[in-house]
Amino acid sequence: MNQNKMIHTSGDFSPEEVRLANRNPGMALELLAEDITPVGMHYQLNHFDIPLIDEKTWTLEVKGLVRNTLKLSLEALKALPKHEMIVTLECAGNGRANYEKRKQSMPWFNEAVGNARWSGVRLKEVLRESGWEDSVSEVVFTGADQGLDHGIMHYFARSLKLEKALHPDTLLAYEMNGQALPVQHGYPLRLIVPGWYGVASVKWLKSVELMDHPFEGYQQAVNYHYRQNSDDPGKPVDEMKLKSLIIPLGFPTGIHGSDFSIRGKYNCPEEPGPVRAGWKK
């Protein structure tokens, strides 16, 4: 079977799509008016079963082409300098339910987005402790969530180029909106990559591996790719594309007549940069 083949559907939503929508809730778009999305309203997408992890026995392993292999407890990570950021996350598949035909997967309309305050330790602080060989070019992040995708059993994993991993805003987060990371959002530790689609921010982190070649894991080399057709190998999704939405009013309304004006602030940069800290209103 061609692993790159895109399966699409149309018509009514299937029971499987409805089940996914209930399991992976999006954000009520009225909350675009708020600067910070409440924890319970932030969108979530879980590819496999949610792993239940015991913080007392959990460690983060830093391995591969390093000078010092590390096994860090949550307590050890919390002993490092704390860093906090407000970051917008969006699913790479946000809006796919609006297409005809649509991709057979999570049926998002426009609600797969959220803006939270994430706290933790800069990844570069941890990598500084491990050190790395001169040949290192890529860093792989593997979560504890495991399952089947297109017949391939694997742990969810994605990679970053070393330069991006060392960026001062790339974060190992253990808090969300001032409280311990919720189970559904990656407890006890997750990656946060500001400005990139949510798939890069791997949850339930169990290992960080440094390597000298491109990572060929399923979620990196096959899934989550930009492609022109089913035969195009494509490229992995990375930075979020600019998207604009009108906040729902929260009550029925209408516009009458042919001439009307809209008043209020707007933001439309000529050269929009990566989304780092929140949305513009």
Dihedral angle of Cα 120, 236, 151, 183, to the nearest 10 degrees: 20
Task: Catalogue all structural domains in the chain, each as residue range(s) with its CATH number.
Answer: 46-92+114-236 (3.90.420.10)
Q: Position 274: which residue type? A: P
Cβ-in-10-Å burial (0-12, 13-18, 19+) of 182 comes to middle
Contacts of 275 (CB under 8 A, 6+ apart): 88, 194, 195, 240, 242
- Omega of the bond leading into 101 within 30 degrees of 0 (cis): yes
Q: Please compute the mean of the pLDDT values over residues 9-31 and round it to a whole number.
A: 78
For residue 272, name the pLDDT band (cuts at 50, 70, 90).
Answer: very low
Q: What is the pLDDT of residues 241-271, one digit of tens each?
A: 988 777 777 666 666 666 666 666 655 555 4
Predicted pLDDT at 274: 46
Predicted pLDDT at 78: 98
Model-level pTM? Answer: 0.84
Q: Decide: 128 and 67 in contact? Cβ < 8 Å.
A: no
Measure CA 237 to chain center.
11
